[in-house]
Amino acid sequence: MIQQLSVEAAPLLDAPLSKGSPRQNPPDVEAGPWSGAQSPAPDVDLERPTRVLIVDDAPSTRRFLRGVLDYCPQFDVAGEADNGASAIVMADALQPDIVLLDVSMPVFDGSSALGGLLGVAPKARVIVLSGMDKSKAEALLAAGATAFVPKGLAPFELLERLCGIVGRPLSVERTAPIESSPVDTAELIPQAAPRAVICDDDGMARRLVAQVLAKCDVPVIAETDVVPNLLAVIELARPELVLLDLWLEGTTGTHALPTIRRISPGTVVIVYSSHEDWMNKALASGAAAFVAKPHCDELEAAVHRLAPRPSP
């Protein structure tokens, strides 16, 4: 039995809030180092976008990756392939700077395609993007892949890692909408049973979200209506899942997202808000998904899709 924390908030209307500019872009963020990243390519051309070939058999994953990359002017998606054989043909024709390569694919998988890709596009950096354990990707790294990036990262974290690998600073400027991360739970490597924290200043919304989570068999360990309490609980409990409203007392959930990522990188944040004009910023700031209120059925689907699950 998990004890539910009760986190009370300050009165709602102590101080007036000014509504922030909904279209304001997040500030530029320096890409940080990460385990497994190679040093930046010495010949990286900062004057033009890095051209990317996406190779994945799942259309939803390709769509997601394109959406994320479209958000970042440093990248230009040159093409997509749904199997290794097509990828080699396209890499030969397109000569991309990087190839995002899934491993498990029908017809001609990533392992089989790696040698061919490097053969036809020797300057390309092949980044293995897979749900497999990194230890299993060692053979691919030894065979010439530049880096391994796990699937299931939030859009912002994915961009940050890719920028780190190619040695470019990250900025997010485009306004094309990013779809919710189509994380395939079968490909994820769960770290723990999911526990959730709810942050919403609307008590009725919190009750509803708690019901949604109960239906998804995700226990709620804390509810709060302000960001400082949320951050305190996250630091203490490192929950697997956070359900976050955006317009909160004192600060916005959007501003909290980078902090959540920093103090608990494994926490999946689903934003549940009626501020649809803040969706892009929330996703670019680290939210795994944005669900518009009052669509609690879509929230339920997002929880089913994104909540990390224990191994069977």
Partner 1 sequence: MLGLLRDYGREPGEFLHEMLRAFLIETPPLMANIERLVEDTAFGPVARLAHRLKGTSGHIGALRFAAALGEVENLAATAVGQATASATATARIEFDLAVAAVQSLLAGA
Q: From edge to edge, which strands make up the β-sheet containing 50-55?
A: 75-81, 50-55, 98-101, 125-130, 147-150
**CB closer to partner 1, 28 vs 277:** 277
Minimal distance, residue 233 CB to partner 1, in Å = 21
For 235, the token pair is 């630091």
Q: Candidates 9-17, 37-45, 91-99, 229-237: pick the segment binding partner 1 (CB under 8 A).
A: 9-17
Does residue 103 contact residue 139 with C-beta atoms inside 8 Å?
no
Choose which of 25, 60, 251, 274 interacts with partner 1 (CB under 8 A).
274
Judged by beta carbon, residue 168 or residue 275, the one nearer partner 1 is 275
d(CA 149, CA 146) in angstroms, rounded, equals: 10
Q: Given the rule CB under 8 A, which of 60-68, 77-85, 153-161, 210-218 is the region that contacts partner 1?
A: 210-218
Among 32, 59, 115, 203, binds partner 1 (CB under 8 A): 203
Judged by CB under 8 A, which stretch of 29-37, 81-89, 162-170, 294-302 contacts partner 1? Answer: 294-302
- Is 205 a binding residue for partner 1 by CB under 8 A? The answer is yes
* Least Cβ distance, residue 6 to partner 1 (angstroms): 18
For the chain, what percentages of helix, strand and coil (3-state, to nearest 5) are there? 35, 20, 45
Instruction: CB nearer to partner 1: give 294 or 310.
Output: 294
Looking from the CA of 146 toward its CB, the CA atoms found within 13 Å total 24
Q: Which of positions 10-69 make contact with partner 1 (CB under 8 A)?
A: 12-13, 16-19
The residue among 240 and 249 lying less far from partner 1, judged by its C-beta, is: 249
Beta partners for residue 147, in sequence order: 127
Q: By CB under 8 A, is residue 310 in contact with partner 1?
A: no
Residues 211-250 within binding reach of partner 1 (CB under 8 A):
211-212, 214-215, 245, 247
Of 118, 163, 168, residue with least CA distance to 140 = 118
* Rounded least distance, CB 228 to partner 1, Å: 17
Please, which residue, 4 or 211, has the CB nearer to partner 1? 211
Beta strands in the chain (DSSP E): 5-6, 50-55, 75-81, 98-101, 125-130, 147-150, 196-199, 220-224, 241-244, 268-273, 289-292
| Residue 114 near residue 86, CB atoms below 8 Å | no
Q: CA-CA distance, 33 to 121, in Å (whole number)? A: 26
Decide: residue 232, CB within 10 A, 0-12 exposed, 13-18 middle, 19+ buried: middle
206 binds partner 1 (CB under 8 A): no
Could you give the CA distance from residue 260 to residue 287 in angstroms, rounded to a whole number? 10
**How far, in Å, CA of 277 to CA of 23, rounded?**
7
Q: Map residues 71-110 to x or -, x wherever contact with partner 1 holds by CB under 8 A.
A: ----------------------------------------
Binding residues vs partner 1 (CB under 8 A)? 12-13, 16-19, 201-205, 207-208, 211-212, 214-215, 245, 247, 274-275, 293-294, 296-297
